[in-house]
Amino acid sequence: MLAIRALAALAAAPLLAALAQAALPPAAAAQVQLQLSCAGTVLEARGSAMLKRPITKLNVSMTLEAEAPTAKAALTLLQERLDPVRRALQALAIEELRISSPSVWNRYVPAGKPAVFEASSRVSGKLAPTRLQALISQVGGLPGVRLAPVDAEADKAGDAASSRQLLQAAYRDALQRGQDLAAAIGLSSLQPLQVQIEGGVRPMPMAAMALRGAAPAPFDPRELPEPSDQLSLAVTFCASR
């Protein structure tokens, strides 16, 4: 992040207050208009900011599969495999456990080969980060389980504060760039005219591949990439001497 170099003639504090009041969820777009006339030179500078946040939950998901010569047998086997998966996840204190209704289809086989029906269901929920290795070793190795990469999630209670920090940091980044540009053309005073928030990203799903079976060294949740919020904006300045 670029360092802050405030100018005495710049009304930065009122603008930052306006940005804080206009703070929206990072995925939203917003615009703050300050004044619409400029007696000097109009400049535009872009700024961005990224904030890493601690992991509080892991979003986990998996596909449970079974196959058999008939659709009924495939569904029965799927149901039998679901029970130990459900119990293992409950033992890990899973939250918001969701199990989709099963689907079954007739897999293509060459002519003359026995029919094969496949059944599957989607299982998902949230776990504490410390349960990562247990998920892999105790659930990933169960019959029919195909684990998907886990998504690291930040605490939603911190979304508003994160949004405010991103807005202020991104504006300060744009301000520094505007100051540099103004100085390059012999100007020294900047007055913000408009701030256009171009968009942001909610805490990004950071995938950590969960493989079947236990690895020789356990999977460490501290090695997962931290969720991060990102935001970019464009500021229009009126520059003068």
Task: Give me the residues paired with residue 230 across strands.
Answer: 50, 201
CB contact set of 230 (below 8 Å; sequence gap of 6+) = 26, 48, 49, 50, 51, 166, 200, 201, 204
User: Average per-residue pLDDT in the chain?
Assistant: 80
Same domain for 87 and 47:
no
CB contact set of 139 (below 8 Å; sequence gap of 6+) = 62, 85, 88, 89, 92, 145, 147
* Residue 118 lies inside a defined structural domain of this protein: yes
* Residue 217 lies inside a defined structural domain of this protein: yes
Domains of the chain: total? 2
Average pLDDT over residues 201-211: 44
CA distance 77 to 82: 9
Average pLDDT over residues 186-202: 82
Q: In this model, does residue 122 exceed pLDDT 80?
A: yes
Same domain for 100 and 149:
yes
Position 218, amino acid? P
Longest dimension (CA), the chain: 86
* Residue 123 lies inside a defined structural domain of this protein: yes
23 vs 117: which has the higher pLDDT: 117
pLDDT digits (tens, 9 = 90+) for 35-78: 567 889 999 999 999 988 888 899 999 999 999 999 999 999 99
Both tokens of 26, joined, read 């990072």
Q: Which domain holds residue 104?
A: 57-153
Contact 154, 53 (CB under 8 A): yes
Q: How far is CA 237 from CA 10, 27, 96, 209, in A?
A: 10, 25, 48, 46
Give me the pLDDT at residue 214, please. Answer: 37
CA distance 6 to 62: 51
Q: Give the dihedral sign, CA 12/17/22/23.
A: positive
Same domain for 174 and 89:
no
CA atoms within 13 A on the CB side of 114: 7
pLDDT digits (tens, 9 = 90+) for 95-107: 999 999 999 999 8
What is the pTM (predicted TM-score) of this model? 0.59
Average pLDDT over residues 191-205: 71
* Residue 1 lies inside a defined structural domain of this protein: no
CA distance 217 to 211: 13
Same domain for 61 and 140:
yes
